[in-house]
Amino acid sequence: MSLEELYRYLYWRMDPEDERAVLRFWRIVEVFEKLKNKGLIPDKPRILDICAGTGIAGVAMAKATGAKALTVLDAREEDLKKVEKWVEIADLDLKPRIVVGDAKEVAKLVGEHDVALLWGLTMPHFDAFDAVKLFRNVALTLSNDGVFLLEELDRVYGVFYQTGYKDMLIETKTDEYTLLSVHEGYDQIRGVFKRTYYKLPGFEKVSEQEHRLWDLASQLALGSVFFKEHRLISRTEHGVNGVSHIIYLKGPRRKIAEELGDEDAL
């Protein structure tokens, strides 16, 4: 069952018709402007928004930096079509390139960019081996001083210590339906939890999904393999409400990425 089916019900604030998503957009612009003012991201870059959804983060980066070009990539074509509305909201004279495809093969799908984004707490979609493919492909896509930014959080600390892992969890609740997920197992090799999603009332099965509950340290360590610079920009450091921690990676180690072929990152 597809991720697209799940996202019909799993509410995420990225629809440009949603006022709360628009508020989120301007907060993302704010945090990118802060990074630009500190010299952490280049001016007028070529931007690649990976797992872009509606392109909310890519357009926000374009607004903050005066981007020369924007590519938005996702497996869900219907969401990508909404990127033009974000461009309108941002009042930009920009024509984004829309690419429907697999983020793990992004180097085969797009040309060189200066900034890559993985925004919106997306890493659980990638198991331990998929993450290697993802980081490798991003490194191959970026220019020599290119930057890879991930909005992320620490799920080991947050889920297992602060909250506690739930066998049954309400994911979304609206006036029309409730979406809940149920634990179905764990793959020790790939490091993923298996959960099935149901819609109430009626207990209608929506999707079966696998998630890896990434911590920040593991992502930083993986980033250090494929990038020369790695650091964490915490919520406290950037100070923008509604934006999580930012993993900052700069300077792709292209030689390592080239030597490690897709067949090695299994």
- Which position has the token pair 């983060």? 57
Q: Per residue in 172-199, pLDDT tens?
A: 999 999 999 999 999 999 999 999 999 9
29-50 pLDDT tens trace: 999 999 999 999 999 999 999 9
pTM of the predicted structure, to 2 decimals: 0.94
Over pLDDT 90: what percentage of the chain? Answer: 92
Q: How far is CA 183 from CA 128, 158, 162, 180, 233, in A?
A: 19, 18, 19, 10, 32
Smallest Cα–Cα separation from 240: which of 13, 22, 25, 19? 25
Task: Write out the CATH class of domain 3-154+215-259.
Answer: alpha beta
Inter-residue contact 214 to 159 (CB < 8 Å): no
For the chain, count helices (H), then strands (E): 11, 11
Question: What's the rounded mean pLDDT across residues 56-84?
Answer: 97
Domain definitions of the chain by residue range: 3-154+215-259, 157-211
**pLDDT (0 to 100) of residue 264:** 59
Query: Is residue 167 a contact partner of residue 229, using CB atoms and an 8 Å limit?
Result: no
For 22, other C-beta atoms within 10 Å of its C-beta total 17
Q: CB–CB of 238/31 below 8 Å?
A: yes
Burial 125-162 (b: 16+ CB within 10 A, else e): bbbeebbbbbbbbbbbbbbeebbbbbbbbbbeeebeee
